[in-house]
Structure 1
């Protein structure tokens, strides 16, 4: 039986997906049962590397999602509101969905999956997180017998490239960002990447799957990488750390709640994620009884993302060809939970911190810092004067595991400490 595809978007990923579907030789035999019926584009006269039969291309995307001859919609237009409208319209017309759009799922996943459940259709999104890294289906299937304790990911290739170049070249953030934009690794407006929005979208999806509950995007504690300086990179290296933008979802058994955060984090050099460099992504899962497992690979790009899109198409095609299940949708390929995860308040989370201070070079500064931290139950692993910056002493502090609320209370006290009124907090990062 042949299944007709409506492809929305023929950009980099859409073109890669079409190339796979139009050239099935040497790939899964199921691909021969998938036919591109219509392709939605912005302009018909744009030069393209893929040739389609006359009438396949159209600028009317609404007609594609309503076409009764189409079985599966592949949404690759990006953005949020227009993609949401088209996905919901397609679901209302009884069509299965494959999407690479992490933003629309992170912000409107509750609405989309509820509609899909009611309509009895699948929404698959392997390409939305990690590019070509298979992580969505492993969380649903292969790791289903485990109790997931923590998901830690480098899931934005742009920021990982920037931090890698800053470390290797000793360059400033702005210079490396310009280089990344020239190479096509960063957008002209890099906000979604460098301010952590993209990683927050992705960790919300992973957390929902790993911990069996919906996640509100606004519950994610988010920080970007704009404020990381070459000095922070250097001092981290001297202390045996690498700085990475990590997205973390961690379950607290004691508090029976989930903590979600995205931000620059110091990682020890022997940690598995420390050696993930350039535009590559990696996702580390801590699970019981499995232990640790890491998924690593290209996090974006034509071939990687198209590979994940095609995998979802194959999954849906295989299910549609199999006998219909008595209970409706396959439980491993659909979203069945409707409740939200309880969220741990950021101030109650325990973690280690790195902080760099600039202060007047006079006796007693380190002692005053130590006193402020001690008065707020912040235990210090190390406190050292590293050097000087524009006639000010640079002091670096690394804590043991402490409550975030206590740590920030100590910082507030340091700001208000009369004896050291010339102190400035240059940077603060978490330590894994």
Structure 2
């Protein structure tokens, strides 16, 4: 490493991911330098607690409780924001950009809420704001869309982007647990927070989807218009019936662009068992990207965790360092498209979405009930694909399962409201959307 150029790194936040990044910078310094042609030097790290044992030794003076010692250090080239949250992280990143420092972050919530402003500021100052670790953990989904698929018109991105939700649904599927039981197990295993709402209510997935939609379609980040539903209402009964019909239930992030309008939605979804996403289990993540040239391709990997996320952070650091070594500007636009090409796009209202549906009705065991349900669905242009009525009773009512052909969300809502008013339907209907059954894909391609 004699005469090798040094690039100095500062880290704000030495929690789980920040510590993992520091470990990689030290433990894998030789292979990183061999690939980069320069030495990455961890110069300073800021954290509120600098006394805690992090499983590694730091040189004297490296740790500080003052983040501005990192931000204002003239020798530091790249600052890693690893504290999470919104306000302080935004303040620190803006200050770094203003002082001409490149920034790497894994903060999807911040990008979903303030990414448009931060990316514009970085472009104006001629510095990089990199964020690979914000979506999909170690999966290089950002780099794949921005660089590897740059020659494609991206048509859709569909993914399992939250390991906590996927773990819970896996346990319900395999053991027949209730949602509450599976959530308790996830907490005990360390996969769910004490307050799991950000994960199980779908918000974390939506933050990531907002970022993916922007880089896929050249649009400004639009988190506010994403339709979001969580998994707390999913039951073993619905998962069992889905499996009998050849489907699995996953919390999916779905974004599509038809050249005119954008769909962006997060909700539990039934997907065919032959779809690779249906076999993604435990805390793993996976994303399918559909492009006009490549067709469908899938990325799979750990969506969270110390070292997988640290790996994605280091990939951003090395990308920036390569530009520094080459003496040039950042060659890849931050949102894939040139900043002047980024457009404000509205997300299609959920009522205008057309997809397939699964319904479960709790019906009184009386003649003519099914005919009444079918009649209301027909009145709202909802065509039934299959129907099943089981003999087992739930609270005195018989479950009736219906799968539909494509229908309009607005009409579905109206129909279910009418059905719920029937005296023979004592409980609210259950709705789960279904994504792209194979026969519809074939029709779209023909």
TM-score above 0.5: yes
**How far 1:234 moved relative to its partner?**
1.1
**Counterparts of 1:426 and 1:374, CA distance in 2:** 17
Change (3 A) 1:343 1:21: same
Task: Answer yes or no: is 1:375 the counterpart of 2:379.
Answer: yes
Give the aligned partner of residue 402 of structure 1: 407
CA contact 1:141–1:332 (8 Å) conserved in 2: no
**How far 1:331 moved relative to its partner?**
3.5
**Counterparts of 2:316 and 2:92, CA distance in 1:** 19
**Counterparts of 2:289 and 2:428, CA distance in 1:** 33
Give the aligned partner of residue 430 of structure 2: 427
**Counterparts of 1:203 and 1:100, CA distance in 2:** 14
**Counterparts of 1:238 and 1:334, CA distance in 2:** 42
Task: Answer yes or no: is 1:392 the counterpart of 2:393.
Answer: no
User: Could you list the per-position Cα deviations for residues 304-356 of structure 1 after superposition, in whole angstroms to 9, with x for gaps in the alignment?
Assistant: 101100000100000111142xxx54244566244222321211111011111
**How far 1:13 moved relative to its partner?**
1.1
**Counterparts of 1:342 and 1:124, CA distance in 2:** 25
Q: How does 1:211-360 map to 2 (within 5 A)?
A: 211-253=217-259, 256-324=260-328, 328-333=329-334, 336=339, 337-360=341-364
Task: Answer yes or no: is 1:73 the counterpart of 2:79.
Answer: yes
SS in structure 1 at match of 2:194: coil
**Counterparts of 2:37 and 2:384, CA distance in 1:** 58
Give the aligned partner of residue 14 of structure 2: 10
**How far 1:402 moved relative to its partner?**
0.8
SS in structure 1 at match of 2:52: coil
CA contact 2:250–2:278 (8 Å) conserved in 1: yes
- Aligned-pair RMSD on alpha carbons? 1.4
**How far 1:422 moved relative to its partner?**
3.6
Change (3 A) 1:311 1:329: closer
Give the aligned partner of residue 39 of structure 1: 45
Give the aligned partner of residue 159 of structure 1: 165
Give the aligned partner of residue 214 of structure 2: 208
Give the aligned partner of residue 126 of structure 1: 132
User: Could you list the per-position Cα deviations for residues 38-82 of structure 1 after superposition, in whole angstroms to 9, with x for gaps in the alignment?
Assistant: 101112222221211111101111332122221111011111111
Greater shift in the superposed pair: 96-105 or 55-64: 55-64
CA contact 2:377–2:383 (8 Å) conserved in 1: yes
CA contact 1:157–1:279 (8 Å) conserved in 2: yes
**How far 1:121 moved relative to its partner?**
0.5
